[in-house]
Amino acid sequence: MAAPFQNYSGGVLLADIVKRNNLSTYVSEAIKERSLFIKSGAVVRNALLDSREGGTRIQVPEFNPVSPTEEILDGTATWGTSGAGYLTPQKIGTGTQIATICHRAFAYAVDDMAVLAAGEDPMLHIRNQLADAINKLNSARLFSHLAGLFGTALSANALDKGKAAASGANEDNFLTAATVAEARSKLGERGEELDTLVVHPSVAYSLYQVGMLTFSTSALSTGGAVTWGGGGVGVGARSIGEFAGMNVIIDSAVNTVAPGTGGHQREFYCYLIKSGTILEGVQQDLRIEAERSVLSKQDVLSVDYHTAYHVMGTKWSDAGDNPTNANLATANKWAATYDIDLIPMVQLTVNSSLDTSTI
């Protein structure tokens, strides 16, 4: 007997298997879960910086921190700055912070012949690595942004302890508790607010190395030089975790814009940041689209995202928007909108005992 022209009840239908393409959502969540900047709180999403209604930049009106002028009361008819025996009302300053939106995208294509030759699906491997790849690109953009900020706008919050020579760097030029304390002092009493330290792996593992060393007490008792030997604190540790009261983020992209001068020993940027100082705004959420090109026999995947990083108290001062990373790293394209000692961020430049090469 022929089957009736209908779907049997209880059967598995296509709609039961394929609900919707959630790859963009999965990748977006994976980016958040794997980003050390987001997990540490150094970077915070802020809806006030979103620009979903359009535009090329995000403008945020601000009230500057108050700095009142005291007046002297002395009981005469001419007291006060008015000279007429009354208090002079003061006003709070205002300004506009500006974040420039960066539009980024990339695509991959996989040819059927490549799949046949490899015996596997390259597109599957591409999809599995998207979150980590986008985080890496975001880090490079963020560090270009910070390099530009500290070039001029926040230059007074920068401390360079690197050795300006081809060799000879020592503890005075490395990341130590002493250099971190000096970096904190750039912000005065607000230096204690810094709770996140971003370092290059060459700097991080030099701390790891020192943490696993102990000094010879006999050398100290005889007035001799300190002698290092194995078996110190942190022998079993595989990561830094914390240093000098700060959570440590290790990212090789911190040197996206390499500091130093040609012929000098390699230097490394370190950033001391208060959690929540770097904000992220979104114009359009991460979008991933895939299609099949029947003529070229290819599977194509395209990715685009439209976001902006912003440090409170600063602004993008260039007339153009959607800058390249090189433009973000250009010093004269940034400005501060209020006193920079109120911006809890310091750039520290050091050498590393694990990389004594020259650039």
Per-residue pLDDT tens over the stretch 73-110: 998 999 999 999 999 999 988 789 999 999 999 999 99
Residue with the bigger pLDDT between 206 and 95: it is: 206
Q: In this model, does residue 111 exceed pLDDT 60? A: yes
Q: In this model, does residue 150 exceed pLDDT 60? A: yes
Q: In this model, does residue 224 exceed pLDDT 70? A: no
E-only strand ranges, 140-277: 158-160, 196-199, 213-215, 228-230, 242-243, 246-250, 268-273
Angle between helix 23-34 and 122-151 (nearest 10): 50
Chain centroid offset of residue 29 CA: 18
Arithmetic mean of pLDDT over the chain = 87
How far, in Å, are 112, 114, 116, 301 from residue 119 at the CA level? 10, 8, 5, 20
Q: In this model, does residue 18 exceed pLDDT 50? A: no
Highest mean pLDDT: which of 1-5, 11-15, 155-159, 175-179? 155-159
Q: Pinpoint the alpha helices (H) of the chain.
A: 14-17, 23-34, 36-40, 112-118, 122-151, 177-184, 201-211, 217-221, 325-328
Return the minimum-mean-pLDDT range out of 46-50, 271-275, 280-284: 46-50
Residue 273 CA to residue 187 CA, distance in Å, equals 11
pLDDT in the model for residue 170:
92
